[in-house]
Structure 1
Amino acid sequence: MSASTLERLDLAEDPLALTPSRIDLVEVGLPLVRPFRTSFGTSTTRAALLLRVETADGVVGWSECAADPEPLYSEEYLAGAEHVLLEHLLPRLAASGRRWSAGGVADLLAPIAGHRMAKAALETALLDAGLRAIGRSFVDHFAQTLPAGATPQARVPAGVSVGIADSLDALLAEVAEYVDRGYVRIKLKIEPGWDVDPVREVRRSFGDIALQVDANAAYRIDVAEHVAALVALDEFDLLLVEQPLAAEDLAGHVALARHLATPICLDESVRSVRDARGAVELGACHIVNVKPARVGGYLEALHLHAWALGSGVPLWCGGMLETGIGRAANLALAALPGFTLPGDVSASDRYYARDLTTPFELNGGAIAVPTGAGIGVAVDDDALAAVTRRRHTWTPS
C-alpha cells in the first residue's frame, strides 16, 4: 500500500470534531418476523443497544451496538457493552480534554483491551454526528479512501441468511420465498447433523443459485465426522464455507483448507486488518467476512478494505440482524469496490415488520445505498418508542 493511500485513510480530520452535550443509551427489543436459529441458539427478538449523541450545536448522531444479549457469538454481550461504555469508554473520552472525533476514538480508547463492539458503536455515533454536521454521507466519506478512478456502487447486491430449520420442507419453503423475492445469494446456517442433506436439497431444488454456508464455529478439526461432512460439501459448488472451526483455531483452518476444494471464509476469527492479513498469509482462509462492529468500527473496516483491494482478497459485508440504523451504515461500506461478493444486507422486512427507520427495500436483487448526510436515514421516533425497553442518559461533566 502506498504512502498516499495510507494518508487518504486518515479520516480523523478536524471538520468532524464535535462537542457532545448528551449521550443516550437506548435498549430496544424488536420482534423478528420469524425465529432465527444458528448453532448458537434461536432468536425471536432482536435486542439491541442504540447510541444517540447530541452535540452542543444540536446535531444528533446515531449508532447500533451489534453485541447480542449473551456472549455466544463472541465474548461481548449487551449488558457488558453498556457497562464498559458508561464506566470506561465515555469517561476516558471526556477526560481527554479534547473535542471528540470519530477518528480519535481508537487511539484514545486503545488502553482499554478488547470491547470492539462497544468502541465501534461509540465511533459510529460520533461519525454520524460529525458527517451530519458537514452534510456528507457515509458513502461519500468512505469513497475518499479509494484509489483514483474507483467509485462506490449506488446499489448493493443483496444476499440473505437462512437459519437452521425444523425440517427440510420448512427450509425449502423459506429459501423459495427468498428466491422469489429476488435475493441473489442464499446463505445456509449449518451445524453437525444439519449440513450435507440440507445443502443437497437446496442445490437440487434451486439449481445454480449462488449458495454458501455458515457454521458459526460449530465444527472441530479433530472430529473425523465433522471433517468428512465439510469435505462432502465440496460436491455442491458453494461460494464458500464460513467459519467452520473455532475463532482461535487458525492452525485448524489451515489444516482443513488442505482437504477442501470450497474456499474457507473467516468471520469470528478476524478482528482487525492484521488478523485478516495473517489468516490469508497462513492459508487459513481465502475470503473475509467484514463486520464493522467485530473489527472495532468502520474506520478499521476501511483499512481492511484498502488492504484487500490491494491484495485481491474477496470481501463481503456480514450482518448482525441490524435495524435500519446499523443497516444503513453497512450498506455504505458494502458499496465499496473491494466487496465483490453479495453480503448479508437484506431488506428490512427480512427481519422486522416495522423497522426503526424508513424500511430498506429489495429491488432487482439489490438495495439502494443511502446518500443523505451521515448514515443517510432518520430514526422513526414512534417506532423507537414502541420497542424501547429503557433509556440511560450520560452527560459529559
Structure 2
Amino acid sequence: MMRLKDPFTTSFGTMQDKEFYIIEAIDTDGNSGFGESVAFTSPWYSEETVKTNLHVMEDFLIKILQENEVNHPDDVSKLFEPIKRNNMAKSALEGAIWDLYAKRKNISLAAALGGKKKEIDVGISIGIQPTVKDLLNTVEHYIKEGYKRIKIKVKPGWDVDVLRAVREQFPDTPIMADANSAYTLADIEHLKQLDDLNLTMIEQPLGHDDIVDHAKLQAVMKTPICLDESIHSLEDTRKAIQLGSCKIINIKIGRVGGLTEAKRIHDYCLERGIEVWCGGMLEAGVGRSHNIALTTLSGFTLPGDTAGSSRYWEKDIITPEVTVDNGIIKVPNKPGIGYDIDRDALKAFTVSEKVFEF
C-alpha cells in the first residue's frame, strides 16, 4: 500500500491510499519481469477491485499460465480469453510477462511493442479542488512546470463555470474535461455550453458502459468526446467508432486487459484516423513505466496522464524515478521497462507476498 501525497477527488469520490499488487515473473535464468495491478479498493471506476484481482489471478489466471506454454506475450491474452472481463487482473500478469520477454530479448519494452519515440509529451490530471481559486492556482503551477495539457475533473455543479474561469485565465492552454460518467442525455443543453471553451475534449461524459447515447451527444457537440470507461476491447473500439460515439479514445492498459490489446486498439485507431492517448490509474513506478512504453507507439498523438513519480508519491518503487522536464519524459532504453526496482522501497510498502511455482 502506498499513500498519495494529496487526496485525489473525482465525481466518484476521494482517495489517498492506493492498494495494488506488484507481479514479478522470474525465469530459470534469474531474469525478472514486473507488472502492476491498477484496480482500486472500491468498485467505483469498474467492477474490479484489489481483492477481486487477487481472487481471479490466484484461482484462475495463474493456473492457466502454469498449465500452458507461453512463447510470446501475445499468447497470454489468448489463453485468458475463457475468463470473462477481469481485465485489470489479466493485465497485471501479462505486463510482467511482457517485461520479462523484453529483458530476455535484451531490448526495451517500448521496442518490443514497436515503439519508436525517444521522448513523450505528458499532461497532468487535476482532481476536483476545494475552490475555483485553488484550481486556478494548481493549473498555473503545472503550466509553469511545462505540462503539455491540463485535464480537469468535473461533475454536475463543478463544470461549465469552473472550466470557463480556467479558460479565461489560460486562453491558450490545451484543456480537457473528465466527467467519469457523471451526466446523462438530459444534460445535453448544459454540456453544449462547453463548445464555447475550445476544449481538446470531454472525457466519458455519459454512462460507463454506454456507446449509444455518446453517439447522440457527439452528433450535437463540436467538442470531441473521448471514451474511457466504455472501451474494454478492440471490439468495443470498433463499435464506438462505427456508431460515431467519439472522436478520441483513452487507452488504459489495465482497462483493456493488457499491452497486447492496447496495441491492437492503437493500431485500429491509427488506421482510421482516431486520435488516442494513454490514461493513468494513479500507478506506481511499474505501471507508469508500462504507460511510457506504450505511448512510444506512433498513434499516441495527444499528451497522456503519465506525470512524474513525484507528482503522486513521496517515494516511488523504481529507480530512477520517472521525471518530467518541461512536459517531456525521456524514454529509457535499458532492457524491459527501463527502470530498476527499488527493492528496499518495495519491501517497505509490501504487506503480504505469495510465491507460485511453475
Q: Same fold (TM over 0.5)?
A: yes
Is 1:292 aligned with 2:253? yes
**Aligned equivalent of 2:330, options 368, 384, 387:** 368
Is 1:176 aligned with 2:148? no
Is 1:387 aligned with 2:358? no
RMSD across aligned positions (CA): 1.2
Structure 1 distance, partners of 2:351, 2:157, is 37
Is 1:306 aligned with 2:278? no
The CA deviation at 1:196 is 0.8
The one-letter amino acid of 1:365's match is G
Contact 1:93 1:100 in 2 (8 A): no
Give runs of aligned pairs for residues 59-138 of structure 1, distance below 5 A: 59-96=31-68, 98-99=69-70, 101-138=72-109
The CA deviation at 1:87 is 0.5
Give runs of aligned pairs for residues 228-307 of structure 1, distance below 5 A: 228-307=189-268
| % identical aligned pairs | 39
Contact 2:18 2:41 in 1 (8 A): no
Map of 1:30 onto structure 2? 2
The one-letter amino acid of 2:334's match is G
**Aligned equivalent of 1:209, options 167, 173, 177:** 173
- Extract unaligned runs of 5+ from structure 1: 1-28, 144-150
Q: Kindly tell me: are residues 251 and 350 of structure 1, through their superposed partners in 2, closer, same or farther at Cα, counting changes over 3 Å?
A: same
**Aligned equivalent of 1:162, options 126, 133, 145:** 126
TM-score (norm 1): 0.88
Map of 1:220 onto structure 2? 184
Map of 2:316 onto structure 1? 355
Map of 2:154 onto structure 1? 190
**Aligned equivalent of 2:113, options 102, 117, 142:** 142
- Extract unaligned runs of 5+ from structure 2: none
The one-letter amino acid of 2:177's match is V
Structure 2 distance, partners of 1:131, 1:142, is 9
> Deviation digits for residues 209-233 of structure 1, max 9, x if unmatched?
0000000111111x3xx22331111
Contact 1:211 1:238 in 2 (8 A): yes
The CA deviation at 1:95 is 2.1
The one-letter amino acid of 2:95's match is T
Contact 1:264 1:287 in 2 (8 A): yes
TM-score (norm 2): 0.97
> Deviation digits for residues 358-394 of structure 1, max 9, x if unmatched?
2111112211112111111111011112211221222
> Deviation digits for residues 139-186 of structure 1, max 9, x if unmatched?
11112xxxxxxx622111110000001111111111111111111100
Structure 2 distance, partners of 1:134, 1:252, is 45
The CA deviation at 1:107 is 1.4
Structure 2 distance, partners of 1:103, 1:251, is 31
| Aligned partner of residue 253 in structure 2, secondary structure | coil
Contact 2:70 2:76 in 1 (8 A): no
| Aligned partner of residue 320 in structure 1, secondary structure | coil
> Deviation digits for residues 277-303 of structure 1, max 9, x if unmatched?
210110111110001111111111111
The CA deviation at 1:99 is 4.8
Structure 2 distance, partners of 1:308, 1:114, is 22
**Aligned equivalent of 2:290, options 329, 337, 346:** 329
Map of 1:22 onto structure 2? none
Contact 1:157 1:184 in 2 (8 A): yes
The one-letter amino acid of 2:85's match is G
Map of 1:8 onto structure 2? none
The one-letter amino acid of 1:123's match is E
